[in-house]
């Protein structure tokens, strides 16, 4: 039976063989599971931990995401505009992916502006960074496949952005005509 309930809570300690992460809060939730803001106990470094629900389909997606993230290790996350992946581990029945902690999504950033549009120069800057990130993915033959404002994060440095969430990503060799990409709502 699939464990679709979630038994990780704020204040919990998530441990691996080499690290312990204290769950400070949850940043988001989706079909896959939750993303927690954590602090690595030994170093006091703040990170984002994607905790994937225990479901055969989601676990297969997690393995695919880990394969893609492993390939992305060939790229410099700062120069290429891609979230820095710091590893993965199992916590009970859950697969956990550790990433650098980023500020907020582009969706949240635009919502906070309360209807005020971004200046054209800021839009151009964001679009150029996204085009560069996608170009770097292309050099490895990777299709993000879920590009949307939720998956573009602001770094907290001016308007620097990074791509996140490679759970739907595929290698170019896996792409087929008529293949469904991205979240249904954005299609």
Of 25, 146, 165, 180, which one is the catalytic site residue? 146
pLDDT at position 24: 98
The residue ranges of every structural domain in the chain are 13-186
Is 150 annotated as catalytic?
no
The C-alpha atoms of residue 40 and residue 24 are separated, in whole angstroms, by 10
Residue ranges in the chain whose pLDDT is less than 50: 1-4
**Long-range contacts at 90-93 (CB < 8 A, ≥ 24 apart):** 91/8, 91/14, 91/15, 91/16, 91/51, 92/7, 93/3, 93/54
CATH of domain 13-186: 1.10.510.10
- Cα dihedral 83, 160, 21, 62 sign: negative
The C-alpha atoms of residue 86 and residue 134 are separated, in whole angstroms, by 21
**How much is the pTM?**
0.91
């Amino acid at each position: 039976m699939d464990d679709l309930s979630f038994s990780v809570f704020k204040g919990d300690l998530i441990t691996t063989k080499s690290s312990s992460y204290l769950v400070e809060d949850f940043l988001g939730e989706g079909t896959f599971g939750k993303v927690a803001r954590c602090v690595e106990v030994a170093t006091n470094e703040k990170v984002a931990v994607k905790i994937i629900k225990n479901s055969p389909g989601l676990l297969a997606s997690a393995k695919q995401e880990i394969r893609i993230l492993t390939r992305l290790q060939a790229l410099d996350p700062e120069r290429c505009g891609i979230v820095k992946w710091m590893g993965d581990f199992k916590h009970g029945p859950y697969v956990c992916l550790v990433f650098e902690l980023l500020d907020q999504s582009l969706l949240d950033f635009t919502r906070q502006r309360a209807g005020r549009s971004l200046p054209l120069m800021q839009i151009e800057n964001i679009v150029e960074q996204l085009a560069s990130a996608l170009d770097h993915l292309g050099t490895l033959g990777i299709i993000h496949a879920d590009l949307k404002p939720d998956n573009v994060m602001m770094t907290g440095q001016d308007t620097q952005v990074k791509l996140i969430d490679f759970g739907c990503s595929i290698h170019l060799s896996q792409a087929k005509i008529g293949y469904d990409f991205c979240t249904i709502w954005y299609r």
